[in-house]
Amino acid sequence: METIPAAVAHAAREFGREPALVDPGVRRYDFTQLHDEVRTVAGALIANGIQPGDRVALWAPNSAKWVLAALGVWSAGAVLVPINMRFTGPEADEILRRSGARGLIVTGPFLGTDRLASLTGTPPFVLTLPKWDSFLNLRSTDPLPAVRPDDLSDILYTSGTTGRSKGAMSAHRQSLGVARAWAEIGGLSVRDRYLVVNPFFHSFGLKAGLLACLVSGVTIVPQAVFDVPRSLDLIEHELISVLPGPPTLYIGLLDHPARTTRRLGSLRLAVTGAATVPPVLVDRIRNELGFATVLTAYGLTEAVVATMCRPGDDTRTVATTCGRAAAGFDVRIGEKDGEVLLRGPNLMLGYLDDPEATAEAIDADGWLHTGDVGELDSDGNLRITDRLKDMYICGGFNVYPAEVERALAALPAVAEVAVVGVPDERLGEVGRAFVVPRPGTDLDTAAVIGFCRERLAGYKVPRSVVVTGELPHNASGKVLKYLLREESR
């Protein structure tokens, strides 16, 4: 079971009539039906000219059809290239061109935008999801092509938090390897129902979501966009037990006025990360939402799941660290600059058509240089202290914004915060805090600065505070600080 098509076949044999995929209000698939439908999709792709090794882009929100399309692409022996749903037409055009995509599967008009119409060029084969049923009518009946563990399975473009995105390549064995590791640590089983809010086009939603469910017999319940009332409906009516997401997801659920009227007793596993997670939030997720297990994890497109807390870890460990090495990774801290380095069998194969960037990211000894600064405690738990590129120098002193953000996260009225360095004539750079208040609260900017002065050295205290309704995020929930820096300029 070292290829994704083999995993689909194994799931059909192992889990059979257990529920596999829910298209709320439309259709439900058990694992046998999922297997049969995926083979139908693969046959239709082949009939439309898709050959083994071809790249097929998928530009659509989370849905049952996304799952079927992705598994069908893999079963046809092709390579999946997910495209970020937030991308504009020109950005998607670039991904299609750089990936050499021979096919494109795209949503119809969604959230007021016609994605297909926004493109200036398209691959030879294009399928819009509204034409799904007619697409399946024409399909090849020839045997599906053989797929090998080391064949390329996907090209995932990095989130581009600091600049131009790069296409990280993974083999089938690697994509399944991280999925199994995540599922094992989370204790996923056929009894679970997983609400996948994390986008499938992102490594977490795809591999710690879709594929983790496939290998462990979990029911996939996709949600196209995070909407608190809709999420509460799905949790209650679909008996959701697994719900990962960034801290903002849980804050949204906790602070919604209808939350206390809903039956949420099925929830058991929360996994978060990608931002500062204050201990009080971990306790609220447990005590107010009822999750028995709350974990944090650390990964990136090039490694997906590198470290993860374990069930039973205390609140301090979950809130202040990203857990211990997972998925076969070794973790160490660079002696020169404290950079987090990763090495293991599930590390990406490299960046598509970019040997220079690959060599810059992965050194001669096979260590990935993540660009994150961190430290390991005596138990091997990783604590991310910042991004190398986010550090700024105030009056000759290095300031790591994550330290300031952790201090501000303890302020009860703060829902989310990001700190960046901005130019200053006297000190070179000073901190600016962008703060999102919790609903129904008021934030006095002077009080925010005063709160920091009581807890941080003077050079770390932000000189200005911007109160805002929201922060810009990428698909994994990480704040796009370069946009905040540009706004400050």
pLDDT in tens, 164-203: 689 999 999 999 999 999 999 999 999 999 999 999 999 9
pLDDT given for residue 111 in this prediction: 85
pLDDT given for residue 387 in this prediction: 73
pLDDT given for residue 407 in this prediction: 86
pLDDT given for residue 464 in this prediction: 94
Q: Are strands 125-128 and 103-106 parallel, antiparallel or unpaired?
A: parallel
Domains of the chain by range and CATH? 4-11+28-173 (3.40.50.12780), 226-344+369-386 (3.40.50.12780), 391-488 (3.30.300.30)
Q: What is the dihedral of CA 346, 350, 351, 354, to 10 degrees?
A: 170
pLDDT given for residue 162 in this prediction: 46
How many Cβ atoms from other residues are within 10 Å of residue 468's Cβ? Answer: 15
DSSP alpha helix (H) spans, 76-202: 89-99, 132-137, 172-186
Residues of the chain with pLDDT under 50: 161-162
Q: What is the pTM of this model?
A: 0.85
pLDDT given for residue 160 in this prediction: 52
pLDDT given for residue 161 in this prediction: 44
- Contact call for residues 363 and 369 (beta carbons, < 8 A): yes
pLDDT given for residue 475 in this prediction: 64
List the beta bridge partners of residue 125: 103
DSSP H or E segment with residue 308: strand 307-308
